[in-house]
Structure 1
Amino acid sequence: MACVNRHIASTPTSSSDEHLQARRLASSTRDQNLHDRNTLGRPLLTHARHRVRISASLWKTFNMAPSATIDTAPAVGGTAVVPKEASHSKHGHELQNKTPLQAMSHGDVVLAGIPKFPDFASQRQWQLEHMAAAFRHWSREGYVEGMSGHISVRDPEIHDAFWTNPLGKHFGLLKASDMILVNLDGAVIGGNRTKPPNTAGFLIHAAVHKARPDVHAVCHCHSMYGKAWSVFGRRLEMLTQDACKFRGDAHSVYNSYGGVVLGPEEGEMIAEALGPKGKACILRNHGLLTVGQTVDEAAFLYTSMERQCRVQLLAEAAAANGLPKVLVTDEEAQFNFDVESDPEICYCEFQVYYDLEDELSGGAFKN
């Protein structure tokens, strides 16, 4: 529908007039919400695109902090408010010629980033250990859904093959030696031979690895909040600092569902939806998928996206009662993206989980 410009209090009015306008607007909103619920059995989820301008005193009437004129955009369940500019003008959006990891590390000591290896064998073992730790972290997060869910890591030497988890083993029990090496044609060429890989997992991961040679790890699971948010077929909003790592082309929606993936076409369409720059994809009625240069990055992005889906659902519940959502500005979102989506940063973010799994298991997952 065409964009509608509505100007509330565009001419000088008295305080009593503004309060009257506020009461009328609130009453109208309640009546519309009641109508939507009565006719559909749930809040109306699509609205005409609109921009609303609210004066500072009228904004107070809604028990919100005073604000200058603000632009709003439509959102599921309520209004999303995007400030025209940052909350104040003294934000330091500069890395001062430092890498994101250097900027995040205060003082002379900088966190160690992604390690280098003298040979393929040591890099391969390191990848498998971190892959097993990622699964155990997923188990602790409650992502286990029977046999569903898989991670793949491209082999450092054989680039047209990847390691993946066996079908039918609990995430919390997986070790490095459990992983299976399968090539992009579907042949098992190494690793564990006691259990098969997941067919759906192979088809999805093979398609992504073929389409994205820059990707070294892919994570997919059916976690609760990712599944719940996926039913809307919508991208995440930039509600929080943590959401900004998925800004712009960094995440997308695969807005289709073809059942359990048992044919190559579905995997190919998921890879296409992810796009050439995507770090994550919301699979409608299905779950989430994330990618990275390391399994650590992909696993951290998965956990982060799952939590942002939970935040989005909580925010939508509040917004359904008419409480506007204040989004991160584009400038701040871009700066956060540049820092927090950096592969070295995401790698280091996962190390706190890796260290915990190492401590709690006594290193058992490394075998």
Structure 2
Amino acid sequence: MYSVQTTQTAAQADSQGQGQVKKTPLELNCQGTPLPGIPKHPTFAAQRQWLLEQMALAFRCFARKDYTDGMAGHISNPLAVHFGLLKASDMILVDYSGVPVGGNMSRPANAAGFLIHSAVHKARPDVTVAAHTHSPHGMAWSAFGRPVEMLTQDAAYLYGDAQAVYKDFGGVVLNEEEGRRVAAALGPRGKAMIMQNHGLLTVGSTVEEACFLMTLLERACQVQLLAEAAAANGLPKILIAEESARYTFDNSSDAETLYWEGQPDLQYEEYMAKGEHKG
């Protein structure tokens, strides 16, 4: 049974611990022995194979959550293959000139996906994975051209400049300039973006981070739409205080914590795939 401290805020309790060894956000989120850090593999080939398998699981997660929409949406997938069928061997390796140079060469890559991803990776060397979906609540909220508000603890994972809005929708992204504008709108610290009249984009240093942030942002859009409907009927919205939102972000949105936030969904997909995703 846990005791609950009610006489001070978490931020105040944290400040009183000055002089002690500062814990990482992942350590703070673990009661007991902390979870290990992000896996590292002994060779580049092993690291790359693990990454491809995690990507296949992320696609299957997106399929189960109904983020599929014809040929739209991408991580690094062949065009016109259902997310729920993707395997590690289906992924396409494309160079910065746009030429497929490895992986599944039987189908073309997604042109819009390449232009967005290549621009993001050029602008943000810290980004290993970028994901884009046309999820239903994300598309609905994107019509307002506004960020999600700090309505919930989950939304606070995207506090401040971690969340961006791209307002310059010019149709399907089929030219390099549009891709560069998308990357510029994301900014140097952005983790997630509302693409006005389009959908959602998330990035991360791991597949798990980008995948989890996509599910979090889609749910935040859904909550925002529900809250707006209630507010339209006279119920006032109450936003999380700046200090609390910042504190939540600082202790929840580092790479290690977001890797583990994404693990449960991918663990479930691995169980359901019965190894098929590795093919």
What's the TM-score bracket when you normalise by the shorter of the two chains?
A: over 0.9
Specify which of 52, 72, 75 is matched with residue 128 of structure 1.
52
CA distance in 1, matches of 2:204, 2:122: 14
Aligned residue in 2 for 1:4: none
- Deviations, residues 94-147 of structure 1 (Å, cap 9, x unaligned): 29511111111111x211221111110000001001000000000000001011
Aligned position for 2:23: 98
CA RMSD of aligned residues (A): 1.2
Distance 1:218 1:342 in 2: 16
- 1:1-367 to 2 correspondence within 5 Å? 90-93=8-11, 94=14, 97-107=22-32, 109-151=33-75, 164-367=76-279
Alpha-carbon distance in 2 for matches of 1:111, 1:195? 39
Q: Match for residue 45 of structure 1?
A: none
| Separation in 2, partners of 1:255, 1:327 | 24
- Secondary structure of 2:247's match? helix
Deviation of the 1:343 alpha carbon: 1.0
What amino acid maps onto 1:312 in structure 2? Q
Which residue identity does 1:338 align to in structure 2?
D
- What letter matches 1:101 in structure 2? L
SS at match of 2:251: helix
The one-character-per-residue Cα deviations of 1:288-320 (angstroms, maximum 9, x if unpaired) are 101001111011101100000000000000001
Structure 1 counterpart of 2:36, one-letter code:
A
In 2, distance between residues paired with 1:137 and 1:243?
A: 20
Unmatched segments (≥5 aa) in structure 2: 1-5
Which is greater in Rg?
1
Letter in 1 for 2:119: A
Shift of residue 355 of structure 1?
A: 1.0
- Distance in 1 (CA, whole Å) between partners of 2:273 and 2:187 is 37
Q: Which runs of 5+ in 1 are unaligned?
A: 1-87, 152-163
Residue identity over aligned pairs, in percent, reads 58
Q: Match of 2:203, SS?
A: strand
Per the TM alignment, residue 179 of structure 1 is displaced from its structure 2 partner at its CA by 0.4
User: Which letter does structure 1 place at the counterpart of 2:139?
Assistant: K
- Look up the SS of the partner of 1:262 in the other structure: coil
Partner secondary structure for residue 10 of structure 2: coil
Give the deviation of 1:89 after TM superposition.
5.8
Structure 1 counterpart of 2:248, which letter? N
Return the TM-score normalized by structure 1: 0.71
For 2:96 and 2:121, locate their aligned partners in 1 and report how far apart those are by CA, in whole Å.
8
Amino acid at match of 2:23: K
Classify 1:216/1:321 alpha carbon distance in 2 versus 1 (closer, same or farther; 3 Å). same
Write the distance in 1 (CA, Å) between the matches of 2:43 and 2:225: 45
Q: Give the Cα separation in 2 of the matches to 1:132 and 1:285.
A: 27
**2 CA distance for matches of 1:356 and 1:113?**
20
Structure 1 or 2: more strand by fraction: 1
For 2:3, the equivalent position in structure 1 comes to: none
The residue type paired with residue 223 of structure 2 is V
Deviation, structure 1 residue 364: 1.0
Could you tell me how far apart the structure 2 residues matched to 1:266 and 1:126 are? 31
- Residue identity in the other structure for 1:230: S
1:253 aligned counterpart, secondary structure:
strand
Give the TM-score of the pair, scaled to structure 2.
0.93
